[in-house]
Amino acid sequence: MQLLPAHKRYNYLKPLFFVTIMFFIFLFPLSIQVDAASPQRAFSSSQSGADDNFPTVNPNYIYDQLFYMVTHYQHRQSGYSESGHDGFATYWAQEMTRDLQGFGPQVYKDSFHVSGWSGKPTTSDAFNVEVTVPGGTYPGQVVVIGCHYDGEASSTQSANDDASGCAIELGVAQAMGNYWRTHHAAPARTLCFVIFDTEEQGLYGSFHYLNDTVNGDVPNIVAMFNEEQNGIAYPLRYLGQASNPMLPLNVDLSPLQNNQLYPSQGKLPQAQLAHISAFRSLMQQAIAPVFAEFRTLGYQGLTYHGSDGQDSAQSIFTPDQMSYMHVQDDTVGGSDEIPFTLAGVPSATFLGNYSYYDRNPPAWSYPYDQPQDTIQLMNTFADGSSQQSNALTLAFAIPGMLTTWMLHQPSVLGEASVESNPLVTIHDIGQTQVGKNIAFQAVANVPSNGTTYSWSFDDGTTAQGATVSHTYKQIGAYQLSLTIHSTQGTHVITKMLNIVNQSMTYANPYCCYTGPGVPPSNPQVKLPIANDHLKDEIIGTASGSTVTAISGQTLQKTVAGIPSVLYLIGGIVLLILAIATSLSLILLLTRKPKRK
What does each of the 596 residues of the chain score in pLDDT, given as a tens digit?
433 333 333 333 334 444 444 444 444 333 333 333 323 333 233 333 334 589 999 999 999 999 999 999 999 999 999 999 999 999 999 999 999 999 999 999 999 999 999 999 999 999 999 999 999 999 999 999 999 999 999 999 999 999 999 999 999 999 999 999 999 999 999 999 999 999 999 999 999 999 999 999 999 999 999 999 999 999 999 999 999 999 999 999 999 999 999 999 999 999 999 999 999 999 999 999 999 999 999 999 999 999 999 999 999 999 999 999 999 999 999 999 999 999 999 999 999 999 999 999 999 999 999 999 999 999 999 999 999 999 999 999 999 999 999 999 999 999 998 875 678 999 999 999 999 999 999 998 887 788 999 999 999 999 999 999 999 999 999 999 999 998 888 889 999 999 999 999 999 999 987 799 999 999 999 999 999 999 999 998 643 333 333 333 334 333 333 344 444 555 565 666 666 655 554 444 444 333 33
Contacts of 80 (CB under 8 A, 6+ apart): 116, 120, 122, 123, 124
Asked if 30 and 171 sit in the same domain, the reply is: no
pLDDT at 488: 81
Asked if 318 and 351 sit in the same domain, the reply is: yes
For 28, list phi and psi in degrees, rounded to 5.
Answer: -60, -50
pLDDT at 578: 60
Boundary (domain end) residue, out of 354, 387, 418 = 418
Asked if 411 and 481 sit in the same domain, the reply is: no
Asked if 413 and 451 sit in the same domain, the reply is: no
pLDDT at 418: 82
Asked if 277 and 374 sit in the same domain, the reply is: yes
In-domain check, residue 516: no
Q: Helix 59-72 to helix 375-383 angle, to the nearest 10 degrees?
A: 140
In-domain check, residue 370: yes
Asked if 412 and 561 sit in the same domain, the reply is: no
Beta strands in 256-307 (DSSP E): 301-305
Asked if 313 and 182 sit in the same domain, the reply is: yes
In-domain check, residue 405: yes
pLDDT at 466: 95
* 568, containing H or E segment: helix 564-590
Contacts of 326 (CB under 8 A, 6+ apart): 248, 249, 250, 251
Asked if 175 and 269 sit in the same domain, the reply is: yes
Asked if 361 and 460 sit in the same domain, the reply is: no
Boundary (domain end) residue, out of 473, 499, 525 = 499
Asked if 237 and 208 sit in the same domain, the reply is: yes
Question: How many Cα atoms occupy the beta-carbon half-sphere of 55 within 13 Å?
Answer: 30
Q: Rounded to two decimals, what is the model's pTM?
A: 0.84
List residues bridging with 326 in a β-sheet.
250
In-domain check, residue 472: yes
Total number of domains constituting the chain: 3
User: 241: which DSSP letter?
Assistant: B
In-domain check, residue 559: yes
In-domain check, residue 406: yes
The CATH number of the domain holding residue 130 is: 3.40.630.10
The CATH number of the domain holding residue 487 is: 2.60.40.10
Pick from 245, 94, 103: nearest CA to 186: 103
Domain extent for 554:
6-36+542-590
* 391, containing H or E segment: helix 390-408
